[in-house]
Structure 1
Amino acid sequence: MHAHALLHLLQLSSPSLPIGAYSYSQGLEAAIENGTVKNEATAQAWIADALHEVVARFEAPVLWRLLHAFAQRDGAAVALWNERFIAARDTAEFRAETIQMGYSLGKLVADLKLGDEALLQILQAQAEVPLPTALACAAVALEVPPEAALLGMLFSWAENQVLACVKSVPLGQVAGQRMLLALQPQLERAAQTAQQLQDEELSNWSPGLSLLSMQHEVQYSRLYRS
């Protein structure tokens, strides 16, 4: 990867990217509340299961398709996967999360004038912009290779999950870094899965996670918005 593309990827993957990712746990806080996640071992198992059973089988392959659709300036394909991703959000919190972060990143793309006019027109043509759509547009605009953008998205997701565990289980900072190191081979495997799945194989079927998200909506005490 060229240095400029690597630097752009680091910027897109940075926790300082102003899209509010740190404020969401994606159901993890509810799992901590009910005792499913209670220490380093259960936290790592939770993140790995969510990675392989949900993210690698739906969020990541949708991003992979959006990356190629934006690269080809294929507005119809972008609209198709944009709509399918939003429709697959099965709780109000999950839907609000991706729309809020997508809006923030999409606004950043527009404010920084990233990419050409065709890219911006495709992005702005969407009635609502979830995070994968905005991220794909930004990555293509910044000339980040699709394989790298996919890994960056997966690492950012894992890092946010680990940070939620560090703060809420709670775990120490060393434990958090140990978890991220242990997850790296699994992130690579998840990226490979995302690139290989056919359209009819995509699935975000995870009823346990959906129930936890619904419980989080009415959780008495919470730090996160999902």
Structure 2
Amino acid sequence: MQSIALLRLLHLASPSLPVGAYTYSQGLEAAIEMEMVKDEASARAWIAESLAVVADFEAPILWRLLQGFSTGDLAVVTRWTERFIAARDTIEFRAETIQMGYSLGKLVMDLKIADESLLGLMTNQPEIPLPTAFACAAEALAVPHEAALLGYLFSMIENQVLVCVKSVPLGQVLGQRLLLSLHSEIEAAAHGAQRLEDDELSNWAPGLSLLSMQHEVQYSRVYRS
């Protein structure tokens, strides 16, 4: 991987990217409220199981979107954008990906890093979820697909760890130890996402869906999901 591509990936996966990721917990705040996550061990188990769900659905969709943007295939981009949005099964999860996708898509346009063909593929979508905007940005920055997928998964897991550091709470050292321990799972998720066939994709996680619905009416909330 060339140095410039690595720098661009680090930029794209940075927690300082202004897309609002820090305002979401992806169901984790509800799990903490229910005391399902209360220490380092339970936090690791939760994040690893959440990653397994992402590896079976969101990650392989991102992989397909990266390929769609690379080949300029509007039908592929539209198909997987629509399917991903349709699979968001709670108000919060849908709002999360649309808001972050809108913010990243706007950033891509404001920075003028994408050519007209890439922008056309993205802006042709009535709504832009995060995987679609990320795939467009990665292609515009010439980040290799495998690296882009790893960066996407790492930034997602890093955000989950930061939620645990602040809300369980875990200390900074425990948080870094937790993140380090998940590297092999992130790598396995990325590799698995590249091999799944279309009919093998699944976002079946009823427990997570129920927690998300409970979070919508949770009395005290710091995060938006």
Per the normalisation by structure 1, the TM-score is 0.99
| Cα distance in 1 for residues equivalent to 2:115 and 2:157 | 31
Q: Which residue of 1 aligns with 2:215?
A: 216
Q: Which runs of 5+ in 1 are unaligned?
A: none
Q: Which residue of 1 aligns with 2:35?
A: 35
Trace 1:70-81 onto structure 2 (pairs within 5 A).
70-81=69-80
Q: Which residue of 1 aligns with 2:24?
A: 24
| Cα distance in 2 for residues equivalent to 1:116 and 1:30 | 41
Deviations 1:14-57 (A, max 9, x none): 000000000000000000000100000000000001111x1100
Trace 1:124-203 onto structure 2 (pairs within 5 A).
124-203=123-202
Deviation at 1:163, TM superposition (A): 0.3
Q: What secondary structure, in the 3-state scheme, does the structure 2 residue paired with 1:221 have? A: coil
Deviations 1:81-101 (A, max 9, x none): 000000000000000000000
| Cα distance in 1 for residues equivalent to 2:114 and 2:73 | 15
Q: What secondary structure, in the 3-state scheme, does the structure 1 residue paired with 2:57 have? A: helix
| Cα distance in 2 for residues equivalent to 1:202 and 1:159 | 24
Deviation at 1:116, TM superposition (A): 1.3
| Cα distance in 2 for residues equivalent to 1:157 and 1:96 | 16
CA RMSD of aligned residues (A): 0.4
Deviation at 1:114, TM superposition (A): 1.3
Counterpart residue identity of residue 206, structure 1:
A
Q: Which residue of 1 aligns with 2:54?
A: 55
Q: Which residue of 2 aligns with 1:65?
A: 64
Deviation at 1:193, TM superposition (A): 0.8
Per the normalisation by structure 2, the TM-score is 0.99
Aligned pair count? 225
Trace 1:82-121 onto structure 2 (pairs within 5 A).
82-121=81-120
Q: Name the % identity.
A: 72
Deviations 1:181-213 (A, max 9, x none): 100011000001100100000000000000000
| Cα distance in 1 for residues equivalent to 2:76 and 2:86 | 15
| Cα distance in 2 for residues equivalent to 1:18 and 1:74 | 28
| Cα distance in 2 for residues equivalent to 1:20 and 1:158 | 15
Q: Which residue of 1 aligns with 2:15?
A: 15
